[in-house]
Structure 1
Amino acid sequence: MGRNRHQCGERVHVGHRDHLGQRPRARRRPARHLPARCRKARHANYKPEVPGGIGEENLPTITLPYIKSAREGVVRLGMLVEKYGTYETNGVAFGDADEVWYWENIGGHHWIARRVPDDCYVVQPNRQGIDHFDLADALGDQHDYMCSADLAQWIRENDLLMDMPAHEEDAGETVEGLPRYFNARIAFSTYTWLDQLYNAPRKWYLCRRLTPSDARFAGPAPAFGPESLDIPWAMRPDKKLSASDVKDLLATTYDGTEYDPYGTKGTPATRHQYRYVGIDRTSECSILCIRPNAPAALRGVHWFAPASGPFNTAVALYANVKELPAYLDTPTEVTTGSLYWNNRLVAGLSDPQFFESYEAIQGYRLNTMAQGYQSLRETDAALEKLAAEGKANLDDMDDPTVIAELERANQALVDSVQTQTRALLGTVLDQRTVTMKNAFNMNDH
């Protein structure tokens, strides 16, 4: 999912990661191996393995330490992919206090990027997303679009323009022998039954929730349905969004429709027809907020939501810290000393009797996220007071006083979340045990 204006004027970027550590946009390919020959260096036929380009796990370390803006991130990653190539397709969102850019690898050494309009959101499932593309801007001023330097040549050589131009602004203008405007999704993406089952339904549902006024989602014969593959890449929401709104959306299982596995509408087949947004195997969901009106040292907030969305909460953490609370660690062994494992236990216990546990889980989520907002407000105020007294510099990301106060706020909030998570686990465990099949009382005979 892309980013949007927060109701407090923030930029919000969200992303899922499943329990295998994979982001949805990445499509893993089988690992490359050397040909079937001796792989030992001492053997006469040994040939060293040749690296196969950039992959998802490389992206943070080869970009973030070297950039100071979203635009710089697009340029740097594009340069590296043009030089080294990639062995998989990926989509990456770069954001700062002024801009949000979405970058897509479209194969090998080629890429495109588009700036997200300030009043729009982007819902991006496991599929190439950018549709409308301005080739003249991408190869020229780069105000809203960017691309690899030889994109036009590559498109021509491989006959990739497959869409029928229908843009009103397309009056026949060309760039390097190609139409200035074209549909990049049609040119570079897939249109398969797997997209219709796994990818399109999630975009349909979230866009319908965020822009219910759009007539294309309404009526007895809507233009866009669960399997529609051409829903616009960026859309304008009916209202501004909060981190809490985004958290609820990323936890949804098509609530209120015949596709909800916990609902009563439809049939057993329809309730398991499409891939859910709040899926069971989610490892963590990150809602990254950049608050342009906050001082630099307080600007970044990471709402961290580990484990499956319908059963967890999001913890509001200041990002400008050196250490995070130990409760947020995820050891390999199951333990109640980890927020991730506690939420996995809650999910496993609650899933068979979803509605019996729903009230407790919803109350837990509302309380802990409200405390997150409170923590941000009180900590901001405390640090602004210290700054007014000359005891802290809020424009210095490395100010030790600021960092210590942010770490203290994070720890205090996580301590409260840990207490409430422990109580929630006890509640759902009690609800589950009273319905066990081996229960028996004296008056049962």
Structure 2
Amino acid sequence: MGCTTILVGKNASYDGSTIVARNEDSPTGIFNPKRVVIVHPEDQPRTYTSVLSHVTIDLPDDPMRYSAAPNALLDKGLWAQAGINSANVAMSATETLTSNERVLGADPLVELQPAQGTPGEDGYVPEVPGGIGEEDFVTLVLPYINSAREGVLRLGALLEQHGTYEMNGIAFSDVDEIWWLETVGGHHWIARRVPDDVYVTMPNQLGIDEFDLDDALGEGRNFLASADLKTFIDDNFLDLSRGGNLNPRDAFGSHSDADHVYNTPRAWFIQKKLNPNSPDWQGADPRLKPDSDNLPWCRVPERKITIEDIKYLLSSHFQGTVYDPYSTVGTEEERSLFRPIGVNRHSQLAVLQIRPYRPESSRAVQWMAYASNPFNALVPLYTNVSKMPDYLSNTTGRVDTDSFYWASRLIAALADAHYFETINVIDEYQQAAQAAGHAMVKRTDALMAEASAEDEQAVQKVLEAGNEEISQVVRTHTDAALDSVLLISSNGMRNGFKRSVK
């Protein structure tokens, strides 16, 4: 699955928040309807079984309430994806990553091995469950952690015990820190604390480009890892550095031709937008290009990063370059050369914001959008609530414009086919919806001053009212946008015929 992640440290964000943002993309040709929900402690399983890998895991008996963005259809499992728990700890899982043959040969992925034969007969081999993966991570970890660091340690222990059947990157954040964990083979992992003054770009490629192994296996101040990582590296000759400074990308990652088409161009575009004056992009033969393997994992931005910056970047399709699929310049080959960030098969976008200047009761906001990002709108939702608005949580497998997911998906499909005729409608829709979102948050924050922080029901009532207000406002804007895009698309149908001269 292809996703794109942006992490923003608290000193790099516009308001001092830690921000974790990720597009969830479905496989090519598949579209996964999504919803956003609140999972209460009584609804959290005490024994969890994965649909895909069949692994069964006993869970602690004291889960916290948390938000999640699960699949609307559960035939392939829950896939909770992104959420914030009642301790204001956020988790985004996952960014599918790449690896190399040396790593996978040394520590193979833990894949489901189906049963062979018939029970009771000669030659029968029972099923062997696989490890844990994207389907499972949020459910197994988020309800039980009180900090981003705890998230790394809990998931790391689960990976060491059960293994994984895929390579993934997982983000954890709290009000002070963001941590990024990458799986390395079937049972190993590395993690790095995101410096406060930087942003991180993560396409579908192992990303951490420097690592302090002594810190990871010692104090763990800025790096963490599976306990036997040094032995694993040494025994399998994984460190390719010439100067003794471990580069995880070289040791554990990939630099394939496919990366240069599918992954590195996305990181290049984000960094070029957030650091436009860097000499890295200047001149006829710039140092860094869309296919460069040495794009840094993190950078200090030239200015502080806003929610709108993140939405723009995670909706982007190489605007202003010959690689834009909607461009009228460049060749047809150039316009389809690189995989854009904003594609047709987005399932959802979650931007997880933990605000240090707000009391704990209203500190966390989960911004949500559904379907193809170039054409959708981002909606803020407080997470310290008992339920989410129906408009964002009522998604089913049935196409229905009473659902924000399906309305967003319809707008995208219609607008893409008539891009130049509808782009003004889309721009106005996105600006109006997201301005309304900021206004709602400002009003609701002000109303929180009248609610006692000790009265949980009163707090939730105020926050739920704010969520419901913005869902209705966004629904009005979404319905209007769909009406306009449908009219434009209908008038542009190929079977149109004018009899009238007027």
Provide the TM-score with structure 1 as the length reference.
0.91
1:176 is matched with which residue?
none
Note the C-alpha offset of 1:300.
0.6
Of residues 495, 498, 502, the one that matches 1:438 is 495
- Map of 1:407-422 to 2, 5 A cutoff? 407-422=464-479
2:45 is matched with which residue?
none
Cα distance in 1 for residues equivalent to 2:288 and 2:460: 48
1:261 paired with 2:325, answer yes
- 8 Å contact from structure 2 (residues 275, 302) kept in 1: yes
Note the C-alpha offset of 1:42.
4.9
Deviations 1:4-61 (A, max 9, x none): 13211111100111234687722699973425422xx454554432222221111112
Cα distance in 1 for residues equivalent to 2:141 and 2:360: 20
- Map of 1:45-444 to 2, 5 A cutoff? 45-165=123-243, 179=244, 181-328=245-392, 329-386=394-451, 392-393=452-453, 399-443=456-500
Opposite residue 437 of structure 1, the aligned amino acid is R
Deviations 1:179-216 (A, max 9, x none): 3x311111000110111110000000001101112211
1:25 aligns to what SS in structure 2? strand
Cα distance in 1 for residues equivalent to 2:448 and 2:456: 11
1:340 aligns to what SS in structure 2? helix
Cα distance in 2 for residues equivalent to 1:97 and 1:113: 18
Cα distance in 2 for residues equivalent to 1:347 and 1:205: 22
2:50 is matched with which residue?
none
Q: What is the percentage of aligned positions where both structures have the same residue?
A: 41
* Alpha carbons of structure 1 residues 256 and 24: separation in structure 2 relative to 1, 3 Å: farther
2:136 aligns to what SS in structure 1? helix
* Alpha carbons of structure 1 residues 140 and 294: separation in structure 2 relative to 1, 3 Å: same
Q: Please state which structure has a larger fraction of its residues in helix.
A: 1
- 8 Å contact from structure 2 (residues 240, 251) kept in 1: yes
Deviations 1:99-126 (A, max 9, x none): 1000010111111000101010001010
Cα distance in 2 for residues equivalent to 1:315 and 1:209: 23
- 8 Å contact from structure 2 (residues 117, 123) kept in 1: yes
Cα distance in 2 for residues equivalent to 1:235 and 1:311: 28
**Count of residue correspondences:** 421
**Unmatched tracts of structure 1, length 5 or more:** 166-178, 387-391
Cα distance in 2 for residues equivalent to 1:42 and 1:334: 46
1:11 paired with 2:24, answer no
1:168 is matched with which residue?
none
- 8 Å contact from structure 1 (residues 24, 126) kept in 2: no
- 8 Å contact from structure 2 (residues 110, 165) kept in 1: no
- 8 Å contact from structure 1 (residues 123, 206) kept in 2: yes
Provide the TM-score with structure 2 as the length reference.
0.81
Note the C-alpha offset of 1:66.
1.5
Opposite residue 11 of structure 1, the aligned amino acid is T
2:350 aligns to what SS in structure 1? strand
Cα distance in 2 for residues equivalent to 1:292 and 1:185: 33
- 8 Å contact from structure 1 (residues 85, 108) kept in 2: yes
Bigger radius of gyration among the two: 1
Note the C-alpha offset of 1:443.
4.5
**Unmatched tracts of structure 2, length 5 or more:** 26-30, 33-70, 72-78, 80-92, 99-108
Note the C-alpha offset of 1:224.
0.7
Deviations 1:81-111 (A, max 9, x none): 1122111111001100011000010111111
Opposite residue 276 of structure 2, the aligned amino acid is P
- 8 Å contact from structure 2 (residues 97, 169) kept in 1: no
- 8 Å contact from structure 1 (residues 303, 314) kept in 2: yes
